Amino acid sequence: MNISHLRQRYQKQRAWGLTASIDLSGCDHLKIQSPRVIRSFVTDLVKSVKMKKYGPTHLKKFGEGELEGYSAMQFIETSSVVVHLDDKGGDRAFIDLFSCKFFDPYQAEQFTKKYFQAKESKLTILLRK
């Protein structure tokens, strides 16, 4: 599906919002371990989808063993961005971007894949009603 078809579905269904779930694998190991890079990513992603941050980016590394890594959460004026990074089990990243303002999820996926230099990406789009 392309962006114009998605926009038409969004408008026809009178969607309340849009969720883009982006799964990345084979990310640059150093990038997903760097608090500075992660904070910059959140700020740059929000700008790239033409949204506005609301408050600070929350960032914390937690978990144990194979389930350890950074997670970040950023409120935006139209909802939120949530990031989970797995630097122990395969250099993966899981990003959820939700907004009640329409945005281009394909562009967000490409931006995210390039930012973390991921080898693979998968995008799941949900129209919220």
Q: What is the CATH number of the domain that holds 60?
A: 3.30.360
| Within-domain flag for 42 | yes
Does residue 96 belong to any structural domain of this protein? Answer: no
The length of the chain, given as a count of residues: 129
Does the pTM exceed 0.85?
A: yes
Domain residues for 47? 28-82
Number of domains the chain contains: 1
Q: Does any domain span residue 60?
A: yes
**HEC readout, 63-112:** EECCEEEEEEEEEECCEEEEEEEECCCCCEEEEEEEECCCCCHHHHHHHH
pLDDT band with cut points at 50, 70 and 90 for residue 90: confident
- Of the candidates 69, 79, 75, 64, the one whose C-alpha atom is nearest the C-alpha of residue 24 is 69
The verdict on residue 44 lying in a domain is yes
Mean pLDDT of 100-108: 97
**Mean pLDDT, the chain, as a whole number?**
95
Whether the per-residue pLDDT at 89 is higher than 90: the answer is no
Distance between CA 100 and CA 80 in Å, rounded? 10
In a domain, 111, yes or no: no
Judged against a pLDDT cut of 80, whether residue 109 lies above it is answered with yes
The answer to whether the CB of 86 falls within 8 A of the CB of 93 is yes
Q: What is the mean pLDDT of residues 72-77?
A: 98
- In this predicted structure, the answer to whether residue 88 has a pLDDT above a threshold of 80 is yes
pLDDT at residue 67 in the model: 78
Percentage of residues in the chain having pLDDT higher than 90: 90
- 56: exposed, middle or buried (Cβ count in 10 Å: 0-12, 13-18, 19+): exposed
Mean pLDDT of 43-68: 92
What is residue 100's predicted lDDT score, i.e. its pLDDT?
96
- DSSP for residue 53: B
Q: Under a CB-based contact definition with an 8 Å cutoff, are residues 100 and 79 in contact?
A: yes
88 vs 4, higher pLDDT: 4
